Amino acid sequence: MMLGFLLARAGVDVVVLEKHADFFRDFRGDTIHPSTLELMHELGLLDEFLKLPHQKVEEFSAQVGEEHVHMVDLRHLPTHCKYIALMPQWDFLNFLAAHGKRYRTFDLRMDAEATDLIEEGGRVVGLRTKTPDGEMSIRADLVVGADGRHSTVRERAGFTSEDFGAPMDVLWFRLSRKQSDEAETFGHIEAGLMMIILNRGDYWQCAYVIPKGGIDRVRAAGLDVFRKSVVKMSPYLADRVAELKSWDDVKLLTVAVDRLKQWWRPGLICIGDAAHAMSPIGGVGVNLAVQDAVAAANRLAAPLKAGTASNEDLQAIQARRTLPVHFTQRFQLIMQNPAVSAHHAEPDHQPRALRHAKAEAAAAVQDVRDVSVAAPHSRAFPGGGHTARARAYAGYAVRALERPAAAAWS
């Protein structure tokens, strides 16, 4: 949606396909990071955007065993918004769609599912779609696959990916929030247990981590056992955990961390989760997708208008975006793997696994603290182990914002 909006703003004819009749899907990524808010500012849309209902997260802490760790403080960032905005993704997408429709070159088609690619002479020249009115063919100079981690475009293109492994899945649910509750977004890690709770105003959005493929075991143990596990992690939820009345109130997110070896073919490129599925650690997925869209729009707007978009343009987009995607995924793996490994530890070994998780998390967090102030203006990326990669990512994430060529598009 972001790429369609930016290209239409630049005068490029765009058709955006949305598989569903609306954008309303619960428990989608809704953490809008400072980098994305900075983009909205540069587009002149920030004030209007922030009128949408949202909550602000300026800092994040976690309990690791008995130790309370202050993980992230965003209040010093060199951006207009020094916080994460928690906003339902359907509001974000509706906002972009409304602004896209201001341009005659923007054509949004709802309830239109891409089912296959149209190829001629080794080049992708369009899509086949399924709509309420039947199947349709849409021809285009360029097809962009932005259809998520289960991308049909990616599969039909025959792309191959590197799978970096994700030892966890996540159960999403919501519980009511009381005014007497603490306001802070919070995480809790114990041996064999991990839960994140996000303040959504009148409710808590909760993410309960389970071992990869463990949903059948969780359900077999029963909903009452699951409720007790939730209360063990956050005792103040005891008076409302009964709001989970059935497993229908608990949604499964199957976690994947992978990256396409090549994101493009002649006439086609994938971006966002279709190119690189992210872990939910850090809530970065939608923000990386937005950054991909800005990089693609900046590179493609002029050649698409001139009818000269080339393989070199597509290759350049992947080359530009590979480094931030690589470091983000590495940082996610650094943070998730030691903590989640406690799920698989034998009971006698769980205290040791938890100590290892605490040490790894503390080291990575300290690197973020050390670098988030000092590194924004440095382009040095030290090599080495986990902490060096965390240090490199922290500096990159603060400073390397993709910026729209707004002046050229006015």
DSSP β-bridge partners for residue 123: 120
Q: Give the number of residues written for the chain.
A: 410
Higher confidence at residue 39 or residue 70?
39
Using 50, 70 and 90 to split pLDDT, how confident is the model at 359?
low
CA-CA distance, 161 to 154, in Å (whole number)?
Answer: 10
pLDDT digits (tens, 9 = 90+) for 103-128: 999 999 999 999 999 999 999 999 99
Instruction: Tell me how many degrees the CA angle 15-21-26 measures, rounded to the nearest 5.
Output: 115
- Tens of pLDDT, residue by residue over 3-18, are 999 999 999 999 999 9
pLDDT for position 166: 79
Mean pLDDT score across all residues of the chain: 84
Q: Which residue has the higher pLDDT, 233 or 342?
A: 233
Of 298, 294, 290, 295, which Cα lies nearest the Cα of 92? Answer: 290
Q: What proportion of the chain, given as a percentage, has pLDDT over 90?
A: 58
Share of the chain above pLDDT 70, in %: 80
Of 167 and 132, more confident: 132
Instruction: Tell me what pLDDT residue 293 has.
Output: 97
Res 349: pLDDT: 47
CA distance 357 to 144: 39
pLDDT at 60: 81
Q: 145-185, pLDDT tens digit by residue?
A: 999 989 999 999 999 999 988 788 999 999 999 988 877 66
Q: How far apart are CA 36 and CA 43, in angstroms?
A: 11
Q: Note whether 2 and 96 are within 8 A (CB).
A: yes
Who's near 8: CB < 8 A, 6+ residues apart? 14, 100, 103, 105, 106
Least confident of 64-73, 233-242, 312-321, 362-371: 362-371
C-beta of residue 35 within 8 angstroms of C-beta of residue 291: yes
pTM for this model (two decimals): 0.84
Euclidean distance between CA atoms 4 and 11, whole angstroms: 11
Is it the case that residue 67 has pLDDT exceeding 80? no
- Choose from 29-43, 57-71, 367-381 the range with maximum mean pLDDT: 29-43
The residue assigned the tokens 């598009």 is 409
Tokens of 145: 């696959």
Going by C-beta distance under 8 Å and a sequence separation of 6 or more, which residues neighbour residue 57?
A: 31, 74, 83, 84, 85, 86, 185, 198, 199
Q: How far apart are CA 188 and CA 235, in angstroms?
A: 11
Are the C-beta atoms of 243 and 119 separated by less than 8 Å? no
* Residue 399 confidence (pLDDT): 47
Q: What pLDDT, on the 0 to 100 scale, is given for residue 225?
A: 96
Lowest mean pLDDT among 39-43, 243-247, 283-287, 311-315: 283-287
Residue 188 has pLDDT above 60, yes or no: yes
Contact 40, 64 (CB under 8 A): no
**Are 313 and 299 a contacting pair, CB within 8 Å?**
yes
